[in-house]
Structure 1
Amino acid sequence: MIPRRDPTGGTVYCHGFLKLKLMLTVLVITTFVYFGGSKPVYGIIDRISASGYNPSPDMEIGDADGFIPWFERDLSYVTRIVRENDGKLNRLSGLRVAMRLRGEVRFLEQEIRRLQDNPSYTHPALGFHVYDTDATGWLHVLYKAQDVRKNILASHLDPSFVDDTNINKLTDGTPLYEPELGKLPRVEEVVDALEGITLPAKVFHDYKVYILPFSMGEISGLGSEGYMLLGAPPVNCTVMEHQIAFTIAHELGHHVHMTFLGSTYEENPKGWEEYMSIRGIPLWSADGDINSRAWFESTEETFAEDVRVLFGAKQAASWPHGTVYKDPRRDPAVAQRLKVFIDTLTDTC
């Protein structure tokens, strides 16, 4: 459509339309700000807070074992700024809080990367990394602080996410307890246990071990692809001999099957069927709670135990196999077939 021209001056009659368009634009922006339309606003916030913002400039992150006081203070601070705004984003003060929180998320992400990039120990030949209790404690609280901010922002400043934050739980809900004094795993113990495992070097490359400054109760370790969490025994708990070496070899077994075989049967049915045939396992079974029937019958836990007893150091392999399927060492032919299967798996993948 061609705009109508003024026959006397040749100017275009569009200035009134532009003014109206400008007024409508202002109205739309105002409506977004005051009635909860957040996406355009967050785009602006993203650009403003890209450099990050330190929520506690007078407390040094990574300073020895100061992570619990830091987190308590940080949680108090987040609670205050959210409640002062009545948990509402659709006002100017709420936007300021959101901008601040977004900047803090970026700062926390930077600090997490910094700690991850600077492990307490890196093996010069095998390339695995170990994070001591201080480093792991800081990572634990930084992830918690980051998550609570992300949840608050996603919920438009809902303060309930602050109330629900619990330092004594992992992200998967695993409870954490006070550790037995003097029983926290040491970096050198972890290094010795990993060095004693007779698997190819590629298995260990960039593998990460995080030593928690807490106990996980009955659970001594949690393993996944690329990393494990190692906990201390709880207070007044009788600890089995060589518990650390035992746990490390078992959890590394989970890393092996998740990396080279498959986290689930569906990921690699042919590979799992071959393994199950060697072990005489009739049906795939996922794991369950520690010491439950499902755990003892689990195909995954059986594989992790096989790695422990066949490839672990002497201390790790000293305890009998832990699932309902008999110890493969009782049948040398089965043990040999298993070793060849796992060696081939880790050498060729």
Structure 2
Amino acid sequence: MLLKKRHLEPSLHLLIWITGLFIALYNINNIGFLKRGMDIYSLAVVIGTFFNIVLFYFVSLYLIPKFNAKGLRRELIFYLIIVTIVLSIGESLIDYFLMPSIYSSEEEPLIAQFIVILVFHIFILALALSYGLTKEWIKKEKKQQSLKAEKLSAELNYLKAQVNPHFLFNMMNIAFASATKNGDEYTANIIEMISSQLRYMLYESNFEKVSVQKEIDHINSYIKIQKLRISDDMPVKINYQTNGDFSSNSVAPLLLIPFIENAFKHGLHYNAETNINILISCQNHQLKLMVSNPVSVNKNNVNNSSSGIGLENVKKRLDLIYPNKHKLQIKEQKEKYSISLNLMLN
């Protein structure tokens, strides 16, 4: 079935051209000042058909995909005019210098032949434009549908990676430890922070874009929760800075948090000096994120499956939502892991 579909369109085109050729051969005796039998004029018809085929497919399969898809309308119009005139002149010269000796009793003026051929080529050009633009529109629609499907799949996979039992278990452990140590009021604040995290992931993620400030608030809450795991006697330092215009810019939700989660998951050491650095800035509609953390000494024994899923999904989301508008650099050195993300928001 796939093979038949692949050959259906070329077969239909071949049938149309052959039909047009036979119709032209049948009616050739009504063209020009003829002096011989109809069978001798097949050469002129075949040459004319060849020029028509070249014009049709060069325009529909080469010029339109090359220029129209990139929005270069002026360049497209320029080349359409040039190609149509050049092919019309070429066919006119062949008709003028070669064909009279074969089938015409009188020479027709070159300009008259050129005008007739040009008018017919304009008709072929109109058909080529209709076919080529329709073909490009169908291709664009299929691509958009495919991108939507990939985006939806990436979003679902991302949410599955975020809302998982491991995450909830860790958060509940923090709440439980706090409850036994500090009492209900303190615990209520922690549970509220956890609830806001889950609320953001479950509800704000339904929107294509959210305010950058909301994303920052979500990150702030997450870092506050992580700091609760660190006591004063631990050699852990978290350098977290934000600056810029966050309220008037929007971004796809849950796009930054995977990189920060990754820093805490693999860079937080309780028995060794640890520096986790996070910088987020937004200036002139350009969002920058820089995160660095030490490489875990037990890296080979750490299960990286959930972390790998989160980072891979966020890379797919960047490619789908911000194509050619982002730059992501990930550097993994012997003792340091760092990421740098530059994102053009508008």
TM-score by length of 1: 0.21
Whose Rg is larger?
2
TM-score by length of 2: 0.22
Higher helix share: 2
Higher strand share: 2
